[in-house]
Amino acid sequence: MKTRKEIREVIINSLYRTYREFTTHFNGDAIRYIRRNIDRYRLAYPEAMEVGKISFLNNPDKPDTSKNRLRNTIRRVLSRRITPDLNITEKSYSAWADDISLALYGVENCIKFELLKGADVTTAYKNKIGGKSCMTGDDAYKTEAYANNPDKVKLLTAKFGGNSARALVWYTEQGEVCLDRIYKDSETLLKAMQDYAKGKSWLLRSHNNLPSGDVDFNGKTDLTVELDVGELMPYMDSFRYTDDCESHSTITLNTENGTFCFDSTGGYLPGGETCEFCGEVIEGEVYHNNYGDSYCEYCFDDNYIYCDCCEEYQDKEGAVYCNCQYYCENCAGEYLERCEECGEYVLERECTEDRHGDYYCEDCADRELAYCECCGEYHYCADIVQQVDGVVYVGECLTDNCFECEQCSDWVAIESRKEHEGNYYCEECYEEILEEELENTEVA
């Protein structure tokens, strides 16, 4: 385990590694600001070790006790406690937090790798490991060629927290092993998969984008794979050409040995592309989504949006428009929260979370929430709010720590209460009662 000083340096060094716009957005004052907040909140490992989480002081002005310590995800602590006033994108926050987790807990504790073959490959596609594509979910049956050739193609998967990644692993006739295009929902897993492949001396694809022309692995383009193929052939990212339209037994990286291309999401088409949505032969420019599906211009514009967060084209269904930009369904779930009061979507780091875990936009929070200085949490304003001895108490914190004077109805800290004949009073009312009783005794 690392010391608090070492944790601070991990966070700063990780920022340099993951935040590409660092030099243009930050300066020495910003770094000093981050260091001060790390020290102020005294970041540490949680008492119960949980990968991806970190412990911090709830109220940095109070003593460092277990009662004053909370734990939360590293990303949320970074955005809400360490850098609340700095202009950092949600995507950068995620990359930063993932990198910190790996440094604090180790790759072996954070990421689980599996090399699948046979029917397990189809199951992984069925379960959408690495995100949705034209071959996942109900379309996983199209991957039967992978399942039927366990010695020629396997599937490498990686899981980290709620994220996952997948990539085909090809065993070529030339003796090389190649890691194909990586499908992922986390940039951290992209690098982890590449590092895993390098450690195995596998060849890497020259880029991780959709194929544009021929594809190479470490500069090699003369690689081939012999497959036993049935009735279906899935969409291919790299080994996508053949010269044999009948058996499709030899697949290659380039068109030198054949021009038939496995670029259809529904099987093999000997020529021309049809729109995935309307089914018509596409005339003019062909549009592809991130999963390789082909669309005509009209259907593509009608069914997809460009997500400014993950910088990819995604399904319009489930997309959210927030802060003048679109978020796909996955990014909306990761970076946005829905205001409990008005129902509008808001960036998570711009929300206020109440003690029940509900989120509020800035306007609704100002109107509906009250901050309790006793517990350091926001309460719904329907709860009773009182200021006692200069401290604002709300709801249960008020009734647990204060009492209402039986005589004047003022709220007083519970340690200051005075008991008389079974009732509780503030000190002033208590003294008045004693004086009155004394006077009545003297008169008598």
- 128 and 247, same domain (yes or no): yes
Mean pLDDT of the chain: 84
- 45 and 174, same domain (yes or no): no
Mean pLDDT value of segment 343-366: 85
Confidence of residue 23 (pLDDT cuts 50, 70, 90): very low
CA dist., res. 429 & res. 433, Å (int): 6
- 248 and 216, same domain (yes or no): yes
User: Is residue 392 a contact partner of residue 384, using CB atoms and an 8 Å limit?
Assistant: no
The token pair that represents 111 in the structure block? 């990421």
Shortest CA distance to 58 belongs to which of 81, 35, 85? 81
On the question of pLDDT at 341 being above 80, the answer is yes
Q: Hey, is 369 helix, strand or coil?
A: strand
More confident: 156 or 262:
156
- 138 and 218, same domain (yes or no): yes
Matching residue, tokens 């360490």: 82
β strands within 17-142, DSSP E: 53-57, 69-73, 112-116
Mean pLDDT value of segment 318-331: 85
Q: Hey, is 60 helix, strand or coil?
A: coil
**82 lies in a domain?**
yes
Mean pLDDT value of segment 333-345: 87
- Eight-state DSSP code of residue 44: B
The token pair that represents 430 in the structure block? 């208590």
Percentage of the chain modeled with pLDDT above 70: 89
Predicted local confidence at residue 268, as pLDDT: 46
Q: What is the pLDDT of residues 206-253, one digit of tens each?
A: 888 887 667 899 999 889 998 887 667 788 889 888 765 555 577 887
More confident: 281 or 427:
427
Last residue of a domain, one of 83, 107, 131: 107
- 250 and 121, same domain (yes or no): yes
**349 lies in a domain?**
no
Mean pLDDT value of segment 103-117: 91
Q: Which domain holds residue 401?
A: 385-443
The token pair that represents 331 in the structure block? 């990014």
- 141 and 175, same domain (yes or no): yes
- 127 and 232, same domain (yes or no): yes
pTM: 0.56
β strands within 194-255, DSSP E: 203-204, 224-226, 241-242, 250-252
Q: Hey, is 392 helix, strand or coil?
A: strand
- Enumerate the H helices of 232-313 as residue ranges: 297-303
CA dist., res. 210 & res. 399, Å (int): 61
CA dist., res. 3 & res. 252, Å (int): 52
- 392 and 419, same domain (yes or no): yes
Last residue of a domain, one of 261, 278, 307: 261
Last residue of a domain, one of 107, 139, 173: 107
Matching residue, tokens 């000083």: 5
Cα Rg of the chain, angstroms: 30
Predicted local confidence at residue 24, as pLDDT: 47
**363 lies in a domain?**
no
CA dihedral 4, 6, 7, 8 (to 10 degrees): 90
Q: Residue 328: which H helix or E strand, with range?
A: none
CA dist., res. 98 & res. 189, Å (int): 9
Count up the domains in the chain and report the number: 4
Mean pLDDT value of segment 363-383: 79
Percentage of the chain modeled with pLDDT above 90: 26
Q: What is the pLDDT of residues 54-101, one digit of tens each?
A: 999 999 999 999 889 999 999 999 999 998 877 787 878 888 888 899
Task: Tell the burial category of 147 from Cβ atoms under 10 Å away from its Cβ (0-12, 13-18, 19+).
Answer: buried
CA dist., res. 414 & res. 75, Å (int): 38
Mean pLDDT value of segment 369-383: 77
Between the alpha carbon of residue 391 and those of residues 113, 160, 431, the distances in Å are: 51, 43, 24
Q: What is the pLDDT of residues 137-182, one digit of tens each?
A: 988 988 988 999 999 999 999 998 778 999 999 999 999 999 999 9
- 90 and 115, same domain (yes or no): no
Query: What is the DSSP secondary-structure string of 399-434?
Result: HHHEEE-TTT--EEEGGG-EEETTEEE-HHHHHHHH
**339 lies in a domain?**
no
**281 lies in a domain?**
no
On the question of pLDDT at 318 being above 70, the answer is yes
CA dist., res. 336 & res. 351, Å (int): 9
On the question of pLDDT at 278 being above 80, the answer is yes
CA dist., res. 238 & res. 178, Å (int): 10
Mean pLDDT value of segment 277-306: 79
- 14 and 80, same domain (yes or no): yes
Predicted local confidence at residue 21, as pLDDT: 46
**223 lies in a domain?**
yes
| Long-range CB contacts for residues 114-120, cutoff 8 Å, separation at least 24 | 114/156, 114/157, 114/158, 115/154, 115/155, 115/156, 115/157, 115/169, 116/154, 116/155, 116/156, 116/157, 117/150, 117/154, 117/155, 118/147, 118/150, 119/147, 120/155
**295 lies in a domain?**
yes
- 125 and 243, same domain (yes or no): yes
CA dist., res. 152 & res. 245, Å (int): 20
Mean pLDDT value of segment 26-38: 84
- 52 and 187, same domain (yes or no): no
Q: What is the pLDDT of residues 213-226, one digit of tens each?
A: 678 999 998 899 98
The token pair that represents 82 in the structure block? 């360490």
Q: What is the pLDDT of residues 118-133, one digit of tens each?
A: 999 999 999 999 998 8
**436 lies in a domain?**
yes
